[in-house]
């Protein structure tokens, strides 16, 4: 028996594929924007201006994971009364980004 997908099934598949694609794009986008050190909110704002919305609850765990993989390095900087953690791509991160850009 031939099964024809309905619109609901197609939407579910599309949503799952879109989510997977977005996860991969986020890593590329973050690495590409950290050639110069940025703090989290600045990165969220900049990516938003480029059309890629990202929530704080998604960004900060991802930044910590990328740092754990030696793709980023972070440093606390005190500006005024508030400390901010700045992130910057490492040499390993640059090489990884270049490879992923070639694949993409």
What confidence tens digit (pLDDT) does each residue in 78-98 have?
A: 988 889 999 999 999 999 999
As a whole-number percent, the residues of the chain with pLDDT over 70 amount to 97
What are phi and psi for residue 21, nearest 5 degrees?
-60, -45
CA proximity to 25, closest of 43, 59, 52, 56 = 52
Q: Is the pLDDT of residue 40 over 70?
A: yes
The model's pLDDT over 65-81, given as tens digits with 9 standing for 90+, comes to: 999 999 999 999 998 88
Whole-number pLDDT of residue 1 = 53
CA distance 71 to 88: 9
Say what the pLDDT of residue 20 is: 76
pLDDT for position 5: 73
Q: Is a pLDDT exceeding 70 seen at residue 3?
A: no
């Amino acid at each position: 028996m031939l099964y024809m997908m309905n619109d609901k099934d197609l939407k579910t598949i599309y949503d799952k594929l879109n989510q997977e694609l977005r996860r991969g794009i986020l890593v590329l986008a973050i690495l590409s924007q950290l050639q110069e050190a940025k703090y989290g909110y600045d990165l969220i704002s900049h990516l938003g201006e480029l059309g890629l919305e990202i929530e704080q609850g998604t960004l900060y765990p991802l930044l910590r994971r990328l740092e754990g993989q030696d793709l980023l390095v972070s440093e606390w900087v005190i500006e005024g009364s508030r400390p901010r953690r700045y992130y910057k791509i490492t040499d390993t991160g640059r090489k990884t980004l270049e490879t992923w850009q070639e694949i993409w």
